[in-house]
Amino acid sequence: MMVDIFDFYDKMERNNIMLSFKGDITSELLTSILQIMENKLDNMQEEPKIKRKVYNVLVECLQNLYHHMDEIPSIGDGAEAEKKIRSAIFMIGKLDNQYNIITGNYIRSRNVEGLKTRLDEINKLSKEELKDYYKLVLNNGEMSDKGGGGLGMIDIARKTGQKLNYHFQPVDDNYSFFSLNIKIAQ
Amino acid sequence: MEKVIIEGTPKTPTINFDMIVGLLEIKGRSIPENSIEFYKPLVEHLERYAQKPQSNTNVNIQLEYFNTSSSKCILDVFKKLESIHKNGNQIVINWYYEQDDEDMLEAGEDYQAIINVPFKMIEVQE
């Protein structure tokens, strides 16, 4: 085994990770994750208000991955190199009375600037401005063929009342790794 | 004129559209990845209904959760209702939200600000 599983476990334990997943994000997987998380939130006897917020934001974060994660060429030679990998990572945990939802996925480097600009624009807006921007995009925006309406990130910022905390890590000439860390305070 | 019933699933709401009495109900959760596909039949039924609507149409929206992808489709449904209302027919959209669910109340108010149809915000006990 190449990974130190105890090290993995220890880090997840210290960050109080409730659920984590790495791999392809399918519709069936989302159904399962949402069901597991709903049961966990019920078992924790979380306040309905917090439970609803966490669930809503979780749906948007996961569906962002589902709609927008880019495939990357696999590492390997010959026939292996022809294959494409669809893979992303997702974690949810609760630390110091706040929920953390962390997602990570590959993105083509040429799309980094555009996404960064959008996120920075959303981060500049006040609560009221976010409400107006949401209504504007809802009413005038076109639905993309991926099914997203460009509303996901605005909705996350609105519901959490916090800035979108993101990071881009260059991977190679063509791809970067985009991570998003969303906090939901009690 | 007929009745349309679509049973709910963990990701899609129950839809009850009774064109004979003029009642449209959407209840449950609406969080499908592909919401256009899900809402397309309803939008088509509404287009047919719009040609010969009842003079009074009651709309009950009682959603526990909905994703942003559904929010566009729900707006499309409301726009169809708006055109029926514009043609001189009475329509009321009853927007139900659970007590303390400010996000759901706000979502209803967002639609109310965009759509020119009377809305009624109704708080229900959890």
ipTM of the complex: 0.93
Judge contact between A116 and A148, C-beta under 8 A: no
- Is the CB of B112 inside 8 Å of chain A's CB atoms? no
Distance between CA B53 and CA B114 in Å, rounded? Answer: 22
The alpha carbon of residue A74 is apart from the nearest alpha carbon of chain B, in Å, by: 26
Q: Is the pLDDT of residue A139 over 70?
A: yes
Q: Domain spanning B3-124: which CATH class is it, in words?
A: alpha beta
Q: Compare CB distances from B103 to A53, A139, A151 and report the shortest one's residue.
A: A53
Q: Return the CATH number at A117.
A: 3.30.565.10
Q: Two tokens at B58?
A: 């009651």
With bands split at pLDDT 50, 70 and 90, how would you rate the model's confidence at A167? very high
Judge contact between B69 and B35, C-beta under 8 A: yes
Instruction: List CB contacts (< 8 A) between A34 and chain B.
Output: 10, 31
Helix and strand element counts for chain A (H, E): 7, 7
- Is the CB of B125 inside 8 Å of chain A's CB atoms? no
**CA nearest neighbour of A24 among A56, A76, A66, A64:** A66
Distance between CA A120 and CA A124 in Å, rounded? Answer: 6
Range of the structural domain that residue A10 is part of: 5-185
- What would the mean pLDDT of A133-156 be, rounded to a whole number? 80
3-class secondary structure, B25: strand
DSSP letters, B29-44, are EE--S-HHHHHHHHHH
Residue-wise pLDDT for A74-87, tens only, equals 766 666 666 778 89
The alpha carbon of residue A4 is apart from the nearest alpha carbon of chain B, in Å, by: 36
Per-residue pLDDT, A186: 79
Per-residue pLDDT, A78: 62
Per-residue pLDDT, A69: 84
Number of domains chain A contains: 1
- What would the mean pLDDT of A151-171 be, rounded to a whole number? 96
**CA nearest neighbour of A149 among A133, A160, A163:** A133
- What would the mean pLDDT of A64-79 be, rounded to a whole number? 79
3-class secondary structure, B12: coil
With bands split at pLDDT 50, 70 and 90, how would you rate the model's confidence at B72? very high
Per-residue pLDDT, A150: 83
